């Protein structure tokens, strides 16, 4: 199978987003149509009506692929999306979350910089998130700077465009149960000088359920940092 040279896969993980998912999908369907792409939605065992809404949207669109699976958390769900996109050989893979905290209009900024061997990251210069999430991001910046001597402004941002060649070469270093595959991908890209960042807009989350709330925050951070330390040993 040959690579779809300018085709785009938009990866959207979903968990209990019934109040906003229709708007989010419809916004990104406009982008998918404009850039000859497809949306791959991975429903992470939602217990609300998210899947029902997705199936209804799917009846009206030929650019939506729905994957339904048992709940495993945000990281493994994103990883599942990446594996599917690689299998289908889309040349560009864009990942965004389903919480409606980003603007689809910013996508073109990343698209203009596209390269099959690069990771293009958004950067939330002004961020509308809870205090604990902001603290995690600050600690992560320092941690990566000390461990890898690389400054990554927004390593875990779910607004990223990844080239097929880069993802194909590097996803193999990341386990399918990783809590934070996006962070590890960012680290690998920075280490290999295959990363670019640019400012994107951000807005407050108004609906839905945050994945990380399910974990004890300290335990979650410790697990992620252990993942990063172990990742350093293999790259």
Domain extent listing, the chain: 4-234
Tens digit of pLDDT for each residue in 190-216?
Answer: 999 999 999 999 999 888 656 555 457
- Compute the distance between CA of residue 39 and CA of residue 27 in angstroms, rounded to an integer: 11
Against a cut of 0.75, is the pTM above it? yes
Residue 4: its pLDDT value, please?
A: 54
Q: What secondary structure does DSSP assign to 65-109, as a single string?
A: EEEEE----HHHHHHHHHHHHHHHTEEEEEEE-SSS-S-GGGHHH
Class of domain 4-234: alpha beta
Tens digit of pLDDT for each residue in 41-91?
Answer: 999 999 999 999 999 999 999 999 999 999 999 999 999 999 999 999 999
CB-based contacts of 92, cutoff 8 Å, min separation 6: 6, 7, 8, 9, 37, 111, 114, 116, 161, 162, 163, 164
Q: What is the dihedral of CA 197, 199, 204, 209, to 10 degrees?
A: -20
Residue 136: its pLDDT value, please?
A: 82
Residue 210: its pLDDT value, please?
A: 62
Q: What secondary structure does DSSP assign to 10-30, as a single string?
A: EEEEESS-TTTHHHHHHHHHH
Q: With CA atoms as reference, report the closest residue to 37 among 80, 79, 95.
A: 95
Report the share of the chain in percent with pLDDT over 90.
85
- Compute the distance between CA of residue 122 and CA of residue 220 in angstroms, rounded to an integer: 24
Residue 146 has pLDDT above 80, yes or no: yes
Q: What secondary structure does DSSP assign to 109-144, as a single string?
A: HHHTT--TT-EEEEE-SS----HHHHHHHHHHHHHH
Grade residue 113 by pLDDT with cuts at 50, 70 and 90.
very high
Beta bridge partners of 97: none
User: Taking a C-beta distance cutoff of 8 angstroms, is the pair 99, 138 a contact?
Assistant: no
- Compute the distance between CA of residue 77 and CA of residue 48 in angstroms, rounded to an integer: 17
Helix, strand or coil for residue 197? Answer: strand
Structural tokens at position 102: 């980003």
Structural tokens at position 71: 């709940």
Angle, alpha carbons 25-179-128 (nearest 5°): 55
């Amino acid at each position: 199978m040959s690579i779809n040279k300018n085709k785009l896969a938009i990866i959207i993980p979903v968990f209990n987003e019934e109040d906003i998912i229709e708007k989010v999908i419809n916004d990104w369907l406009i982008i998918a149509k404009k850039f000859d792409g497809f949306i791959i939605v991975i429903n992470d065992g939602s217990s609300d009506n998210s899947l029902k809404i997705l199936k209804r949207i799917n009846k009206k669109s030929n650019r939506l692929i729905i994957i339904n699976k048992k709940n495993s958390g945000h990281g493994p769900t994103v990883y599942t999306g990446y594996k599917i996109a690689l299998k289908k050989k889309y040349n560009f893979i864009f990942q965004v979350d389903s919480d409606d905290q980003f603007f689809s209009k910013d996508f073109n900024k990343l698209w203009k910089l596209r390269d099959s061997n690069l990771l293009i990251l958004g950067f939330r210069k002004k961020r509308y998130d809870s205090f604990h999430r902001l603290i995690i991001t600050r600690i992560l910046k320092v941690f990566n700077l000390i461990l890898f001597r690389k400054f990554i402004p927004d390593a875990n941002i779910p607004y990223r465009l990844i080239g097929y060649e880069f993802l194909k070469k590097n996803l193999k270093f990341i386990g399918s149960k990783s809590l934070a595959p996006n962070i590890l991908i960012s680290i690998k890209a920075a280490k290999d000088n295959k990363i670019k960042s640019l400012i994107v807009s951000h807005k407050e989350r108004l609906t839905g359920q945050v994945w990380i709330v399910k974990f004890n925050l300290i335990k979650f951070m410790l697990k992620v940092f252990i993942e990063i330390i172990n990742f350093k040993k293999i790259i």
